[in-house]
Structure 1
């Protein structure tokens, strides 16, 4: 899909679901990573992540456009356009737009594992920590026993 096709689609969706014209620019922005799209407050333009169109097709693209148009129309009307505002939530519900887009299939959201493991010498409780800690200064929170580092899995 080209930029001009996206522009026409956004204008069409705006008239169909909101009965109001979209009078600004709709652009694909390949630099977007964690979101399906965004509404720019100063320029009133809408940017769409092209990866969502490639991964899920036009149906998901239209739902992202509806979400961004909710921000657009509410902001221009001077109403609550943020995710937490009641006006925004009501309009999302009315046009059946999603509050969040679904994650891309190739996004690798791994949990960061602990770099350091400490154990209490008295009760044996194990602590996972991302940062190194001074075992002379800190004690076990359960029994106030001494701590000892038992493992480090840092890659350095």
Structure 2
């Protein structure tokens, strides 16, 4: 009989703990819901009041970016290489091998459409073309589409293995 009373008392205490835990968790969630609703109303009110200054901030940021870019060296002249450039053709044994051109000014150009007769290591060429905005597996130089090319000084002829 004493054992049964002890078991009943333990069960009642466990049941009481369980009921109190559920009650507290239910109270906490209703408080959180009302807090979230209050926060949402406050945010909405703030958004309506600050809509105009945010637009001014966006305009100011755009003006700052333009001011920064104005002094930046990346200009249309660098992108548009429609004037003749002189450089040396080089075979680079990277990523399976490819031909690149290093201009007299030191710029690395990755020709995307160079004819095979100009693929001569050490050749001096003059080229015209446009910068091509692509990513390449070579990850070397500026991708470039050649529109005109002239051979000034021949170099070493390409091996069939290199092509």
TM-score band by shorter chain is under 0.3
Relative contact order, higher structure (CA 8 A, sep 6+): 2
Higher helix share: 2
Higher strand share: 2
Q: Tell me the TM-score normalised to structure 2 length.
A: 0.19
Q: Tell me the TM-score normalised to structure 1 length.
A: 0.19
Q: Which has the larger radius of gyration?
A: 2
